[in-house]
Amino acid sequence: MSHGGNAHGYPTPPPSSARRVLGHAVARIEDRPLVTGRGRYAGDINFPHQLHMRIVRSPNAHGKILSVDASAALAMPGVLAVWTNADIAELSPIDFRADKNATGIREFRQPALAQTYVRYIGDPVAAVFADDPYVAEDAAEQVALAIEALPVVMSASDPPGEFEPGRSSEAIVLHHSFGDVEAAFRNAHAVIELDLQTGRHSGVPLETRGAIGVYDAAKDLLELHGAAKIPHRNRETLCRMLNRAPSSLHLHESHVGGGFGIRGELYPEDVLVLVAAMRFERPVKWIEDRREHLMCANQGREQRHRARIAVDRDGHILGIEDEIFHDQGAYIRTHGVNVPNRTMCMMTGAYKVPAYRAKARVRLTNKTPAATYRAPGRYESTFVRSRLMDAVAAKLGIDPVEVRRRNLITAQEMPYVIAFDEPGVEALEFDSGDFPALLEKALKAFGWDKLQADLKRRRAAGELVGAGVAIFMEESGRGPSDNAKIKVDPDGTVELITGGASLGQGFETVMAQICAEALGVDYRRVRVIHGQTDLIDHGIGAHAARATVLTGGAVHVTATMVRDKALEFASELLQTPADDLDIVDGMVMRRDTKGGPSIALGDLAKRLAPGSKLLRGRDPQLAAHGWYNTDHTVFPYGVHLAVACVDRDTGRVAVERFMVAYDVGRAVNPLLIEGQLVGGCVQGLGGALSEEFVYDEAGEPLSATFADYLMPTVHDVPDVEVLLTEDAPSPRHPLGLKGAGEGGINGAGGVIASAIDDALQMSGAITRLPVTPQRIRDLLRR
């Protein structure tokens, strides 16, 4: 029952005006339980007789474990067991996802409980199991750790230290290059070199992590509840780690209070609750507290770049060279070295760059491990690229917008391929886009020219105010495959089972819209199921802006199969050629005449029941299982524009205006895309201006509460202006779709740096994110 989607050269899809529900800003269907307090998050999931786990965490940033004394904890009533690494000696460290190239980095994976060494404050050392979560917490405080302190490495650009005796903390050096870089720099009219840093920050979802392991010995079935993001892929990893068949291990997603790339990855705690559930034959629940979250969940973004750019006298880029110091934190987690690789491959962005060479030094430090956070590698590389472009503009005395215009890849050059010399490094194949057109539209919508005059006047009156621009590429919808199962119930309700995941982004609404459009039903009658590995065997989850494109593709293919079956069957019942039939509001009827014969989809489903006389060789049920397969990635793109005003006396930056201009190919639901773009933008502003995981020189995390980790509040952000365009539908997707999850955040660091430079009239002043008020005052005092 599979139907391979053709991945090439789809015709231009119709605009939303020619569609019934696809492309329209309809209301979300998932909100009722969420806004009426009936959401069911990991914390709400309980099983009879469950145990609770509390982790004893390392108080040292680096050290050798001499002893763990659990006797006092074990003596407390209600405490069942205290585990150390010795209790799980056979368990492999938390593994990389199957698709991650792991050569040379496996030694840096994190054990579920520290083995011999602790490597960051918060590193799990022991696990306490008790009848009550707070008894477990009381007991965890009684576990005495003896740890011999070892020297710490707190910066990736410091000389590497030892990960373990004889093994450097520089885990790997990665390369991306193309073209003749030597010649580019040799022949350059000007070469500019910058030393830039992006600060350590991360997604901080409202819901902290949670995991509940359940083992049914009667069926030899293991379940992980509280899963998120990528249940199916995590099942693969867990099956490998626990040596179980996929059909004996199921993951279950419930409501999820935000993900942003960090929630839903596999962490030590997820594996521990499973192993414990099997060993104790009791359900085991773990819910993270906020302090743990800010010390243990994946962080990201911390990189230092020594970047060089070579240009001709007109500002055309001849070459870019970059040496990246990637602060990986204490271990390499499930993504392997995805982030430094994405940083390098996306560095040239939307520009024509004839020669490029990047080297990423992936270095371990004694901080919380780093991994993917919304727009991984892109937020970082867009910041670097934007800083380089601004520096070129300043050096050559060309307007910063003009210098960008001169270097953009044009619509005529599409599809545009960026191939790298290194074997095995995947080429980027930009599928479609008109970058110059989006830039011009954005500038016009923002009133750029008039704005320049206003800013000039305000600066002349003494204000420190300026504007910036950043242009970026996104990538989304990477294959290879996703699938969907659709069934129409006899009452006309449509059940849609996907292997997608919902982190709150509106997945259900979007999938219901795609399904409803093809099937001709009210989208509110589609029940969308996701994140349940026992209901569908494969699923791509929700990451890297994939869900709408890939799972949406599968839903489109499958809904079309159901539609075809419905029309074919109805054509027989209604004595009308299938081509003359349409499905409107769940009724199959003639296209041309109103009031002709018609039949409801539910009635067709009834007549297709197993044993029905009308089947006549057809498979029972009005149902289908379809696949969407693609070798391609689709590339949305965007422009960020911002106005920033600096308080000269305090260094505070007020972002007065922010525009996200974004071409999404085709929007399934503009309302939800706007939400994605604005939400992402606010997170991007956090990383640009205030959010930073700071550590002291001994490795103590100084940002482990919300009083110290400064996420923007509603007072700190402007009304984000969104310009959503659909000029470049992907020819590689049946609906022309591209992803939208990361377009709001990608350029935020770059554009804010540009705007602040302009406000201060100090070109190149901003070299480091976040731009805190203190850092601005330091600049002004110079």
Partner 1 sequence: MARPVPESPEPMKPAAFRYYTPKTLAEAVAVLADVASDDGRILAGGQSLVPIMAFRLAKPTHLVDINGISELARVTVADGKLKIGACVRHAAFYQPVCDGPLGKLLATVVRSIAHHPIRTRGTFCGSVAHADPASEWCALVAMLDGEMVAQSKRGQRVIAAKDYFAGIMTTALDEDELLTEVRLPLLPADARVGFQEFSRRAGDFALGMAVVTYQVVGGKIATARVGIGGAEPSPRRIAEAEAALIGKPPGATAFDAAAVAAAAAIAPLEDFHTSADYRRDLVRAMTRRALDSAAV
For residue 702, the minimal CB distance to partner 1 (Å) is: 6
φ and ψ of 251, to 5 deg: -110, 145
For residue 259, the minimal CB distance to partner 1 (Å) is: 24
615-641 in b/e form (b: 16+ CB < 10 A) is eeeeeebbbbbbbbbbebbbbbbbbbb
Q: Based on CB atoms, which residue is closest to partner 1, 450 or 781?
A: 781
Pairwise CA distance, residues 85 & 116, whole Å: 9
Pairwise CA distance, residues 175 & 309, whole Å: 17
Amino acid present at 446: F
For residue 654, the minimal CB distance to partner 1 (Å) is: 12
Q: Which residue has 């999938």 as its token pair? A: 511
φ and ψ of 657, to 5 deg: -140, 150
The tokens of 18 are what? 């020619």
Q: What is the DSSP letter of 370?
A: B
> CB–CB of 38/662 below 8 Å?
no
Residues 6+ apart with CB under 8 A from 719: none
Pairwise CA distance, residues 6 & 4, whole Å: 6
> CB–CB of 259/372 below 8 Å?
no
For residue 401, the minimal CB distance to partner 1 (Å) is: 32
Tell me if 418 contacts partner 1 by CB under 8 A.
Answer: no
> DSSP strand E in 179-219: where?
190-198, 210-216
For residue 265, the minimal CB distance to partner 1 (Å) is: 25
The tokens of 292 are what? 């743990």
Tell me if 656 contacts partner 1 by CB under 8 A.
Answer: no
Tell me if 768 contacts partner 1 by CB under 8 A.
Answer: no
Pairwise CA distance, residues 405 & 182, whole Å: 25
Using N-to-C axis directions, what is the helix angle for 400-407 and 378-396, rounded to 10°? 110
Site map 288..317 versus partner 1, x via CB under 8 A: -x-x--------------------------
> CB–CB of 184/318 below 8 Å?
yes
- Torsion sign across C-alpha atoms 501, 502, 506, 508: positive
HSE toward the beta carbon, residue 645, CA cutoff 13 A:
14
Using N-to-C axis directions, what is the helix angle for 435-446 and 400-407, rounded to 10°? 160
Q: Is 424 exposed, middle or buried (0-12, 13-18, 19+ CB in 10 A)?
A: exposed
For residue 294, the minimal CB distance to partner 1 (Å) is: 11
Q: Based on CB atoms, which residue is closest to partner 1, 665 or 770?
A: 770
Q: Which of 138, 489, 580, 727 binds partner 1 (CB under 8 A)?
A: 138
Closest by CA position to 111, among listed 241, 250, 254, 306: 241
Judged by CB under 8 A, the stretch of 131-139, 208-216, 306-314, 758-766 that binds partner 1 is 131-139
Q: Based on CB atoms, which residue is closest to partner 1, 141 or 631?
A: 141
For residue 777, the minimal CB distance to partner 1 (Å) is: 5
Judged by CB under 8 A, the stretch of 502-510, 562-570, 587-595, 646-654 that binds partner 1 is 646-654
Q: What is the CA radius of gyration of the chain?
A: 27
Identify any residues that bridge with 197 across adjacent strands, giving them in sequence order: 304, 768
Size of the site for partner 1 (CB under 8 A): 30
For residue 708, the minimal CB distance to partner 1 (Å) is: 9
For residue 51, the minimal CB distance to partner 1 (Å) is: 14
φ and ψ of 279, to 5 deg: -70, -40
Q: Which of 12, 40, 107, 134 binds partner 1 (CB under 8 A)?
A: 134
For residue 770, the minimal CB distance to partner 1 (Å) is: 11
For residue 648, the minimal CB distance to partner 1 (Å) is: 9
Judged by CB under 8 A, the stretch of 129-137, 209-217, 272-280, 459-467 that binds partner 1 is 129-137
Site map 660..699 versus partner 1, x via CB under 8 A: ------------------------------x---x-x---
Site map 363..402 versus partner 1, x via CB under 8 A: ----------------------------------------
Q: Which of 6, 71, 103, 650 binds partner 1 (CB under 8 A)?
A: 650
Judged by CB under 8 A, the stretch of 134-142, 392-400, 464-472, 744-752 that binds partner 1 is 134-142
Amino acid present at 320: I
Tell me if 700 contacts partner 1 by CB under 8 A.
Answer: no
Judged by CB under 8 A, the stretch of 35-43, 297-305, 431-439, 645-653 that binds partner 1 is 645-653
Q: Based on CB atoms, which residue is closest to partner 1, 82 or 653?
A: 653
Tell me if 239 contacts partner 1 by CB under 8 A.
Answer: no
Pairwise CA distance, residues 277 & 275, whole Å: 6
For residue 714, the minimal CB distance to partner 1 (Å) is: 9
> CB–CB of 209/285 below 8 Å?
no
Q: Based on CB atoms, which residue is closest to partner 1, 169 or 690?
A: 690
Q: Assess whether the previous peptide bond of 480 is cis (omega < 30° from 0).
A: yes
For residue 380, the minimal CB distance to partner 1 (Å) is: 22
Q: Based on CB atoms, which residue is closest to partner 1, 567 or 704?
A: 704
Judged by CB under 8 A, the stretch of 128-136, 368-376, 392-400, 569-577 that binds partner 1 is 128-136
Site map 704..723 versus partner 1, x via CB under 8 A: -x-x--x-xx-xx-------
| Chain residues that interact with partner 1, rule: CB under 8 A | 132-135, 137-138, 141, 289, 291, 649-652, 690, 694, 696, 702, 705, 707, 710, 712-713, 715-716, 772-774, 777-778, 781
